[in-house]
Structures are given as structure tokens and as C-alpha cells.
Amino acid sequence: MATRTTHRTYCRICIAACGLEVDVEDGRAVAVRGDAEHPLSAGYTCSKGRALPEIHHSPNRLDGPLLRVGDAQQAAGWDEALADLDHRLTDLVATHGPGCVGFFLGGGIYMDTAGYWGFRRLARRLPSGHVYSDTTIDSAAKYRAMELVAGTYSLQSHVDPEARLLLMFGTNPVVSHGQTPMFEDPVQRMRRATAEGREAWVVDPRVTETARLATGHLAIRPGTDHVLLAWLVRALLVDADRALLATRVRNLDVLAGAVAPFTLDAVVARTGLAADECTQLLTAVRRAGRLAVLTGTGVTMSSGGNVAEWLAWALLTITDSFDQPGGMWFSPGYLARLHERDAIPTAGPPRPGPPTHPDIAPVMGEWPAAVIPAEIEAGNLRALVVLGGNVVTALPDTERVVDALGRLDVLVTVDVAHTPTTALATHVLPTHAQLERPDLPLLNDLYSSTLMMQHTDAVLPRHPDRRPGWWVLTKVAAMLGVAVLPDGVDPDTADDAAVLDCVAGVETMAALRAADPPWCTAPTPVHGWVLPRLVDAPWNLAPAPLVAQLAALDAPAPLVLIPRRLPKRFNGRPLGPGDAPELLLHPDDARGAGITDGDLVEVTSATGSLEVSARLTDSLRPGAVSIVHGSAAVNVNRLISSRDLDPLTGMPRMSGTAVTLRRVEPGTAGPRSRRAAEPVAPSHPAAKRRAEGSR
């Protein structure tokens, strides 16, 4: 009879880091449930976390290196795969210089702490500007606004547990658990707040799972969140204590001038909201006095994302909601301990952008990922290492992306499962998944809603032909002449524990390993540590680039695409059975296009088209349609332009893209919706050259 053991761990699918209990029998995970004692999630876990056994034991897992020979991939040993990669990278660097090699970070590497830490050490020593990640696909607006307002990337604001009003724009934390910061156990958090008389309002074109729990919901026209925020700022400036604000901010008068055109009449005309809806929200904000604001991809992926993020900062500042009880607090981090430093880390000096787009400044040291095809086409990028990401379903303009990847001399994917991107790779290097490795949530340090750090041992035995992510990185880095690990730490003799000691420090790791339960916490939230540091460097509430962008934003098209997430899928990573991709549209829009429920519909933009089944629903307002991102079967990025990029961040317009709809007659469906799901053999001459050079 099989013996069942239970292991405590935490989930590394998304940033919420929920505590889990995993039952294991004969080396297999058989059940997952929430850990009731966990200080963050208190027993909560979502369907994605509960699916971990199915994910881990999926036949889609990578169980050994793959090496492309000709037009096909074949199994290879680690020595063979790494030797071949070393040969190719050495030749490329000798011919084109070290600047021809780049890296892309996806969600998989972020949650692998030792691997992520190893990459950051590599990036600081990398003789190339080609560092990209999915941050510049979905959330760069947050960091650019923070940089321009506060001069830092380190002020991660969180909803105070006693926040009087929670205002959510374009975010659905019941499914996503937050973008930045985390919003764990979302259903119970919202229910507790409303039961205690506090309010939660959602501004979103769709009646989301979160909107159903909210005090109020405003079904705003997509891409106009910044208009409503500008009006709120305009109205609340009348009530503000300007003398107090002048000690903390600069350019208050410029801000007032920038939002002056946003009268109630203008807001009604541009947002599609009724005047009484807007005034009810303003009344709620005034009644609360202080408030918390959360934004998500519905905002950050839109053309107005930068200004919406800026105006959210302005709204929170003029209501005295930052760094205050009842509003929002800034996490100093359990490990970072920013409140004990003399100064908040700055964003650093400006740096040039990528050669094909030199006017787009890096965000947190990264070039925008949407320019990867342009950099390949220009010959600037010849080798790309993809770490835990799926660029085929992440980047805009799928046809251009697939063609560009085929032009690379080397495409390395470091991942746990087969994806459309691994199907294109010259080298596929499989790593340990979350249940196979010890870990701690380093990335979550500033994003966690409680000052805490936790540790987990490996839950499952390791497959013999998979390797630690940090180990793979050390090997690739060595090929580029970069040492990732500190002196005296040998990658071939060190283990995961030794590397985690390097990440967090021997004393911290010893305390975490000794803790039972396996976490350490500190008093939270922490208020009052940020404002004293603003005396010599007050925030700029009217950055010139954002003021100019606000004035220049156009009205959205009559019918636009908006993003959404599915409960059983996280971005482009395969998570087993989930909801089938479909087009959500309002019956009024369907009627105008002659579409009925279940019809196959061709959705077309200026960039491309795809075919998808329609589902009619009044859960979203007319003028908006929605297709989930991250699906290979129906890859919405076929509709998104890789040339129309935000000039301040390089973000593609993943929300608000103008589209048209056409019912596909039965028997006439084309292959557009299927192409991205199929492995594509490289056909470009560069692919042939690299195959011929394979050893």
C-alpha cells in the first residue's frame, strides 16, 4: 500500500505565493490544498494552484535536452547540448561581438529565486543591452510613472488592511491576484471589507468576477480610465491642503492646468459613463477621505496606461493616502529593509534605448520586448536565450515574431514544458519545476502584502535529466565569459541550498530553515517611513512627458479589443485543461455584425486576423470585445501591432486595439487560429545555416 506524506510549500505560479499542503505518494503529487495557517493566504488557493500535480506530471513536461539538427529537434545529452551551444555562441561572439546575444525573462524564471538571482548577476555583467522581459509587455507603465513621479522603481504600494475605499481600475484580482502588488485571498478580503462598512469600486468595461463582489461598478469605455482619473484629480484639488502638498510635491499648479479640461461633461462624453455614476464615485472618495487604488492590465496595456498610472499617484497624493493608515502603505521588504536605509534607491541615470528604437529609454534596465523582432531583423540580435517564457504567445504581431525567431542563429529555451517557442529552438534545456526545488520568494519581497519571507524544501524527487535553473545560467554565462556565482562557489559541486545562502544570506536562510511553520514575519503594515525621505526630493506631480501624453491621447475606436485572464491559466504557460478561448461580445455588437452565439468569427485588426468562437454576453459594455491572452490555439497577439509602440515605454497596445468582426460561414474556416499552436520548423536561410553548423 502506498504511503502518503504531506509537505508544506508555497505556490509559485503567480505573485500571490499562497501557502500549500501537497500530498505525495510514491514520488508523485496527488493532491493540493491551501495551508490554513499561512499568514498570507490563510487556506486559500486557486484552481491553478490546485492543478499543480497535473501540471508537474503532465506529458508535456521536458525530460531532457533537445538539439535542433536540420529541420528537426532530437534528444541530446547535457554535455552534447552545452558543447554545441558553446561552439555556436563562441563563433557568434567572435564574428559579431558579445552585444549580439540577448535574454528574455518570462514568468517561469521570476518565481525560480536562485535562477532569477543568477540572471540578475549575469545581466549586470552582460556586455549587451539585449535584456528583455514580460514586464515591458504588461506593466512597464507602472514603473515609468513611478520613475517620472518619484525617481525610483522601489516604492511598491499596498492596500492598507483598513483602507476605507478600494478603487480598482482595469484589474480583476479575484482571477489574477493582483499585478503589482499582490492581492491574495481576494474574495474573502473584499467580503470582509464590505461587511465592515468599507467600500470597493471597480472601473472596468466588463462585469468581472471582482466587480460582482464590489460596492459599485462603472462600465467605462475601454481606454478612457485616465479621463475619469483626471476628473477626480481636478475635483479633489479643490479640497486639497495645498500648503501641505507643497512640502511633498512639485509642479502642483502644472498638474491643475493639465487636468483643467476634464470637466464632468467631458468625462461623460469620453467615458460613456452617466453623470450620476461619476458623481457617486466622487462622493464615495470624499466620504472615505483616504483611499487605495489598484490598477491592472486593462490600464497598463492601453494607450493611456502611463497617464492613468501617473494620475493614480496624483489622486493618492492629494488625498493624503500614501504612507498612511486607511490608504496605502509602501513595503520596505523583509529582505530589502528599505526603511532602514539612508535613502530610497533611485532609478539611476538615463541610458540609450535599443538601436532600432533609440528614443525609448530602458525601464528598470530592460529594453522593450516588443522590439525583439526589429533587433533581429536589423542584425543586432543573433542569439536569444528565453528563460521560462513563451515569446510566441507573449509578443505582439505573431507572424513577425515567428519569422524573426527563424532568423536567429541561436535560440535557446530554458523551460519546464513544451511550448510553441521551444518548438522553434535550436537548444531546449529543461529545468526543475517548482515542486522539485527548494525556494524562497525573493521577487515577492517588495510585492508581498505582509512583511514576511518563507522557505520551502523540494517536495518531489528530481527527474535525472532536468537541471536547476541557476546551474543552466552559470553554464550559459561562462560561454559569454561571465562568472555568475561568487568566488569559491563551484557550480558543479554546489547545491541549491548553497546558492540560496548566497541569495538571502546564511543567517536568514538558517532562520527560515529552522522556522516551523517555514516562514518568518515582521510587524506590518509599516507607515511613515517614506514621507520623511521626501524633504529634499519631493515628488513631481506633473512630469512633462506625461502632461504632454495626456493632452495628445485620442478617443478610442468604436469597437476595440480588451484583455482578460482565465481562472485556470496563467499567461502563456500551459496549466492543463482550462477554459477554451472565445470571443466575448455584447449582443448589440453581435447583432450589427450578424453574429449569433457560438458562431465562428473572424476578428481583424490593422495587423492581422484570427478566427474564434463567439460567446454573446451582456457582461461587457457595447464597443468592447475580449479574447484571453496567452493562448497558442487562438493567439490574440496576431491582432496586436509590433510597430505602434508607446514612445515612453515601448509597450505594445495590447488593450484598445481597433478591430472589426465578420461571421465565418460554415465550411470556410481558415487556419489562422491554429498556426501558433503548431510547432513551426525554421525555414529562413539563417535556420538552415545554423543547422548545417550543428555538431
Per-residue pLDDT tens over the stretch 582-623: 999 999 999 999 999 999 999 999 999 999 999 999 999 999
What nine digits make up the cell of 224?
Answer: 478612457
Confidence bin at 54 (pLDDT 50/70/90): very high
Residue 134 within a domain? no
Confidence bin at 401 (pLDDT 50/70/90): very high
Q: Which of 375, 401, 397 is nearest to 644 (CA)?
A: 397
Distance CA 12, CA 110 (A): 9
Q: Are residues 513 and 586 in the same domain?
A: no
Residue 671 within a domain? no
Question: Which pLDDT belongs to residue 566?
Answer: 76
Question: Which pLDDT belongs to residue 18?
Answer: 93
Distance CA 571, CA 388 (A): 12
**Which letter, b or e, does each residue of 448-478 get, where b requires 16 or more Cβ atoms within 10 Å of its Cβ?**
bbbbbbbbbebbbeeeeebbbbbbbbbbbbe
Question: Which pLDDT belongs to residue 471?
Answer: 98
Range in 67-81, 178-192, 268-282, 551-565 with the lowest mean pLDDT: 178-192
The average pLDDT across 412-439 equals 97
Distance CA 509, CA 454 (A): 9
Q: Are residues 322 and 199 in the same domain?
A: yes
- pLDDT surpasses 50 at 679: no
> Which residue range forms the structural domain that includes residue 458?
66-128+368-441+452-518
Q: Mean of the per-residue pLDDT values for the chain?
A: 92
- pLDDT surpasses 60 at 130: yes
Q: Which of 484, 360, 418 is nearest to 103 (CA)?
A: 484
CA dist 177 to 46, 296, 299, Å? 9, 10, 16
Q: Are residues 201 and 283 in the same domain?
A: yes
Residue 23 within a domain? yes
The average pLDDT across 276-287 equals 98
Neighbours of 417 (CB within 10 A): 19
Q: Are residues 460 and 541 in the same domain?
A: no
- pLDDT surpasses 50 at 1: yes
- pLDDT surpasses 50 at 686: no
Of 72 and 674, the one with more pLDDT: 72
Q: Are residues 190 and 270 in the same domain?
A: yes
Q: Find the CATH number of the domain harbouring 258.
A: 3.40.228.10
Distance CA 513, CA 519 (A): 8
Phi, psi of 300 (to 5 degrees): -70, -25
- pLDDT surpasses 70 at 656: yes
Q: Are residues 578 and 547 in the same domain?
A: no
- pLDDT surpasses 60 at 676: no
Distance CA 34, CA 52 (A): 12
Range in 175-189, 407-421, 511-525 with the lowest mean pLDDT: 175-189
DSSP state of 212: G
Percent of the chain at pLDDT exceeding 70: 94
Q: Are residues 80 and 51 in the same domain?
A: no
- pLDDT surpasses 70 at 579: no
Map grid coordinates 540577448 to a residue: 102
The average pLDDT across 453-466 equals 96
What nine digits make up the cell of 436?
Answer: 522539485
Per-residue pLDDT tens over the stretch 226-263: 999 999 999 999 989 888 888 889 999 999 999 999 99
Question: Which pLDDT belongs to residue 482?
Answer: 94
Residue 402 within a domain? yes
Question: Which pLDDT belongs to residue 690?
Answer: 42
Phi, psi of 552 (to 5 degrees): -95, -10
Q: Which of 404, 344, 346 is nearest to 380 (CA)?
A: 404
Question: Which pLDDT belongs to residue 567?
Answer: 65
Amino acid, res. 497:
A
Per-residue pLDDT tens over the stretch 638-654: 999 999 999 999 999 99
Residues 374, 378, 381: CA angle, nearest 5 degrees: 80
